[in-house]
Amino acid sequence: MEKITYSIDEAAKIVGVGRSLMYQLAREGKIPVLRLGNRFVIPKKRFEIFINSSTNL
């Protein structure tokens, strides 16, 4: 089965930033995330659209 979400750590590695910054962006609503309990997950398709359309984080 193909993975449909990224963890914060995976997304941080993809864009080359630290996980603290990714958590901050998630809390501020600047990246597309879903909250599952205490965990943030990032839908793969929405994240790919986000990084392809963003000039910077």
Q: How confident is the model at residue 13 (pLDDT cuts 50, 70, 90)?
A: very high
SS3 38: coil
- The side-by-side arrangement of strands in the sheet containing 5-7 is 5-7, 39-43, 34-36
* Higher per-residue confidence, 56 vs 35: 35
* Structural domain range at position 31: 5-53
Confidence of residue 56 (pLDDT cuts 50, 70, 90): low
- Per-residue pLDDT band for 22 (boundaries 50, 70, 90) equals very high
CB 22 within 8 A of CB 51: no
- For residue 53, how far is the Cα from the chain centroid? 14
Q: Does 9 have pLDDT greater than 90?
A: yes
* Residue 55 confidence (pLDDT): 62
Instruction: Please count the structural domains in the chain.
Output: 1
Write the CATH number for 20: 3.90.105
pLDDT band at 16 (very low <50, low <70, confident <90, very high): very high
